[in-house]
Amino acid sequence: MNMVILQAQFGVFETLTQYGALGVIVLGLGAVLWFMLKRQIASEDRLKVQVDELQKEITNYVRSDQNKIKDTIDNNTKALQELKEFIMFNKGKK
């Protein structure tokens, strides 16, 4: 009776243990593979978070630069308009 309970609990593992040392090695490799897969997924998740943070920083830098460029263009446009008015005013005096 105890043997039946133990067999029911092992399931797939029992099938592998029937192969002796080879089955144990497969179980060990499966455990290592599972650990490495979990580690890889965790690493990818950390990298995704880092990429998202960097994208936010870059977006903030770009917005800041866009505002600076817009201000510079506005100032240059205003200065050009003033220069044009000055030239037109002085041209009319001749």
Confidence band for 89, pLDDT divided at 50, 70 and 90? confident
End-to-end CA distance of the chain: 119
* Among candidate residues 23, 21, 20, the one with its CA nearest the CA of residue 12: 23
pLDDT digits (tens, 9 = 90+) for 45-60: 999 999 999 999 999 9
Residue 2 pLDDT level (bands cut at 50, 70, 90): very low
Contact 18, 8 (CB under 8 A): no
* Residue of 1, 34, 31, 39 lying closest to 13 (CA atoms): 31
Q: How many domains does the chain have?
A: 1
Residue keyed to tokens 């005096």: 93
pTM (2 d.p.) = 0.52
Q: Which domain holds residue 83?
A: 2-93
Which pair of tokens denotes residue 46? 């950390």
C-alpha–C-alpha distance, residues 71 and 44, integer Å = 40
